[in-house]
Every structure is written in structure tokens, then in C-alpha cells.
Amino acid sequence: MIKFALVGIGHIAKKHIEAIENAQDAELVAVCDSNPVRLEEYQGKYETYTDLDEMLRTNKDIEVVNICVPSGLHAKLTKIVAEHKRHIIVEKPMSLKYEDGIQMIEDAKANDVKLAVVHPNRFRPAVQKLKAKMDEGVFGTLSHANATVRWNRNQAYYDQAPWRGTKEFDGGVLMNQAIHDLDLLLWLMGPVESVQAMAATRLRKIEAEDVAAAVVTFKNGALGVIEAATTIYPKNLEESLAIFGENASVKISGRTANYIETWDIEGESEVDTSNLMDEIKNDPFGKPGHQWIIEDMVEAIKQNREPIVSGLDGIAPVALILAILESAETGKKVSL
Ligand SMILES: NC(=O)c1ccc[n+]([C@@H]2O[C@H](COP(=O)([O-])OP(=O)(O)OC[C@H]3O[C@@H](n4cnc5c(N)ncnc54)[C@H](O)[C@@H]3O)[C@@H](O)[C@H]2O)c1
């Protein structure tokens, strides 16, 4: 059994707790939050701490720490965990600054510990099927791709904690919500060469952007169109990802991108396509992405290999978002 601990026991920590409880060969032993009220419901079940350093000094058996604090604090806490020689699973966005992300990778390397970043959408059944087809090369020459996030995060969402919507600790729709979709775009299409973008804060009283639009050129020559907003009235409308190539068009969509809307692949029979669509419809969510990430860390430790979503994977969408924001601010095309 690999012993896990969590730091930051807010909203997303609940998913981590459930995922660790359900994961193979993983056991949650301790939780830490600087706000003692957040720890009350866990007293008696796990060890509880209000200070990360104290938790790691006290319990030497903890092997992995999942970092679930506000995004702007990820780098600082990663350093503490790495210096205690424990492995790290850090929530997205890995960091809000490029230098912080690089520092996190270096801190993990210098202390010989593993660093995984939580991009759970890669493990969605429809996304896995698409990735397998892209790896087979069935798309031929890629024309373009599209990532759309049309969601609602109302003012009450941003007002629930002072860090939300700030540039220093959270970022806007790109860093907080659309980063999952940008991660998928980069994973499926490869690296981006340049970006031209616009962003605005239209409806929410926050410092960062609540709507953004960008056009990118991938290094392979294909284009990409990104639209992201948390301003959609009155509720989440759509999250979708579409890839268009010479011999294939695939669109994954829904309120969350879990369903296959279009699956047209040259040479694939109608029966095979309809069986695939049925398979996804019957189980659109599959095993929770957080559980995949935790089980992968357990295997990475046992086999002494890199986690599937590594620090380098985590920093790629952060770099793309920073380029989008720079282009939006300067009005100029930005090269990566
Ligand atoms: N992967 C996903 O789908 C997903 C979804 C939601 C949030 N997140 C990410 O998870 C992170 C946390 O988001 P959340 O919505 O759970 O936030 P939250 O505000 O609900 O919880 C954060 C917790 O961290 C605690 N905290 C702050 N500083 C601390 C410190 N120095 N030491 C110990 N505890 C500290 C706070 O008291 C709070 O309880 C963010 O990075 C966010 O982007 C990821």
C-alpha cells in the first residue's frame, strides 16, 4: 500500500479522497488544511494537520502528497513536499507563472521525487478512443482543431473565496476551466507554434478574464480555434473538442466533453462506428480521472517511471495560456 496525504481540503479534495479510497494499493492516511474548520469532518478518520511541514515531519510513512490548494500556491507547497522527499500530485493549473512551473519540475528532479499534474480529462473513454485513432494516423494530414468551453460560473462562484478570479492565485476561464481542453488539444495535435488572441472580462466582477478567443497555428501546420467563457446564461451549455483531418472528422461534446457527436473515419464500417457510439453512450464517464492519476502514481513509484501526466505535460498548457494572454494584451501574434 502506498500512503497518501492531501493538502488543501476544499472542493476538489473530495474527489481526491474518493479516488484514493477506491484506488488499487493506495491508502489515505493524513489531511492538512490551514483552516482548521475544514478538518473537522475528517477528525478520527485520518490524521489531521494545519501545517504541511509539520505533517511531513510527523508522519514519515507518507509517500505521496496531493496538493489541492489555490493554484497560485502550488509552486510553494511543491517545494516543501519535494524537500521532504515525497512524491507529488498537483492539481491543475500546475502553476500560474512559467518560471514557477519550471521550478516545480526542478525541485522534483533535484529531490528525486515524482511529479504528476491532474489533467483527468485525458482518461475519458471518448477521448481515449480519439487519441488511439490519432496515434494510428487515420486522420491523414490535419486541417484544424477546435476547443470550446461555454460554461457558467456565476458571481456567487467567484465570491465563495477571495482567491477566485484573481490573477495571482486563480487566473480566469483559461487557467481555471479551459486548461483541461487546451491540455487535450496539445496532447492530440502536438505543440503550438504561435497564437493570436483576444480576452475580456465582460460579466463577472473579477480581475482575470471571463471570456477569451484564440486562433493558434500548431507546429505541424494545422490551425486551432479556441473559445472559452464562464459567462454563459443560465448554465453550462457545452464543452467540445473537434479534430478535422484529410480522412477523418471527430467531435466530442456534451455539457462536458464526454459524448461522441461525430465520428466519421474513412474505411471504418457503419457497424463499428455505431458500436463505438453505443459503448460510449453506455459509459460516458468511465473510471474517474482522479483515480486514474492516483493509480498511475502508484505504478510509477513501483516501476520507477515517470507518471503519465508529468510536470512537462503540466507546463505545456500553462505556457500556451500565458501566450494567449500576452497576445490578448498586446494585440500581437505571440510565438511559443
Ligand atoms: N482537476 C479539476 O477538475 C479541478 C476542479 C476544481 C479545482 N481544481 C483545482 O484545485 C485547486 C483547489 O481548488 P478548490 O476549488 O478545491 O479550492 P477551495 O478554495 O475549495 O480549497 C482550497 C483549500 O486550500 C486550503 N489552503 C489554502 N492555503 C493553504 C496552505 N498554505 N496550507 C494548507 N491548506 C491551505 C484552504 O483553506 C482551502 O480549504 C485549484 O488549483 C483548482 O484549480 C481542479
Neighbouring C-alpha atoms within 13 Å toward the C-beta of 182: 31
**C-alpha 12 – ligand 1 centre gap (Å):** 7
Ligand 1 near 241 CB (within 6 A):
no
For residues 197-213, average pLDDT: 98
Hey, CA dihedral for 18, 23, 27, 33, is it positive or negative? negative
Question: Cβ distance 321 to 93 under 8 Å?
Answer: yes
Instruction: Please tell me whether residue 199 adopts helix, strand or coil conformation.
Output: strand
Left, alpha or beta for 329 (phi > 0: left; psi -120 to 50: alpha)?
Answer: alpha
Whether 313 is covered by a domain: the verdict is no
Does residue 116 sit in the same domain as residue 181?
A: no
Protein residue whose Cα sits closest to atom 18 of ligand 1: 10
Q: Can you give the pLDDT at residue 245? A: 98
CA dist., res. 207 & res. 325, Å (int): 13
% of residues, the chain, pLDDT over 90:
100
Burial class (CB in 10 A: 0-12, 13-18, 19+), 38: middle
Q: Can you give the pLDDT at residue 41? A: 97
Residue found by looking up cell 486548461 in the block: 179
CA dist., res. 224 & res. 115, Å (int): 29
Does residue 86 sit in the same domain as residue 134?
A: no
Whether 207 is covered by a domain: the verdict is yes
Hey, which of 12, 14, 177, 230 would you mutate to test ligand 1's pocket, going by the most ligand atoms within 8 Å of its Cβ? 12
Question: Cβ distance 63 to 74 under 8 Å?
Answer: no
Whether 204 is covered by a domain: the verdict is yes
Q: Can you give the pLDDT at residue 126? A: 98
Q: What is the pLDDT of residues 124-134, one digit of tens each?
A: 999 999 999 99
User: How many residues are present in the chain?
Assistant: 336
How would you classify the pairing of strands 26-32 and 2-7?
Answer: parallel
Does residue 264 sit in the same domain as residue 325?
A: yes
**C-alpha 117 – ligand 1 centre gap (Å):** 14
Which range marks the domain in which residue 98 is found? 2-120+290-308
Does residue 10 sit in the same domain as residue 93?
A: yes
Whether 43 is covered by a domain: the verdict is yes
Does residue 68 sit in the same domain as residue 182?
A: no
Q: What is the pLDDT of residues 77-130, one digit of tens each?
A: 999 999 999 999 999 999 999 999 999 999 999 999 999 999 999 999 999 999
Whether 164 is covered by a domain: the verdict is yes
pTM over 0.95: yes
Residue found by looking up cell 482548521 in the block: 36
Does residue 299 sit in the same domain as residue 264?
A: no
Ligand 1 near 75 CB (within 6 A):
no
CATH number assigned to the domain comprising residue 181: 3.30.360.10
CATH number assigned to the domain comprising residue 70: 3.40.50.720
Does residue 132 sit in the same domain as residue 22?
A: no
Whether 37 is covered by a domain: the verdict is yes
Whether 20 is covered by a domain: the verdict is yes
Strand order in the sheet with 211-218: 259-265, 248-253, 238-245, 142-150, 223-229, 211-218, 192-200, 334-335
Does residue 133 sit in the same domain as residue 114?
A: no
Does residue 212 sit in the same domain as residue 128?
A: yes
**C-alpha 215 – ligand 1 centre gap (Å):** 30
Report the atom number in ligand 1 closest to the C-alpha of 170.
43
**C-alpha 61 – ligand 1 centre gap (Å):** 24
Residue found by looking up cell 512524491 in the block: 87
**C-alpha 141 – ligand 1 centre gap (Å):** 41
Q: What is the pLDDT of residues 219-247, one digit of tens each?
A: 999 999 999 999 999 999 999 999 999 99
Q: Can you give the pLDDT at residue 18? A: 98
Does residue 149 sit in the same domain as residue 51?
A: no
Angle at which helices 13-22 and 289-303 cross, to 10°: 60
Does residue 73 sit in the same domain as residue 146?
A: no
Does residue 171 sit in the same domain as residue 109?
A: no
Q: How confident is the model at residue 64 (pLDDT cuts 50, 70, 90)?
A: very high
Q: What is the chain's mean pLDDT, rounded? A: 98
Instruction: Please tell me whether residue 188 adopts helix, strand or coil conformation.
Output: helix
User: From the CB of residue 50, how many other CB atoms can be counted at a distance below 10 Å?
Assistant: 13
Residue 242's contacts (CB-CB under 8 Å, 6 or more residues apart) are: 145, 146, 249, 250, 251, 252, 253, 262
Whether 224 is covered by a domain: the verdict is yes
Hey, CA dihedral for 313, 171, 99, 332, is it positive or negative? positive
Q: How many separate domains does the chain show? A: 2
CA dist., res. 264 & res. 245, Å (int): 10
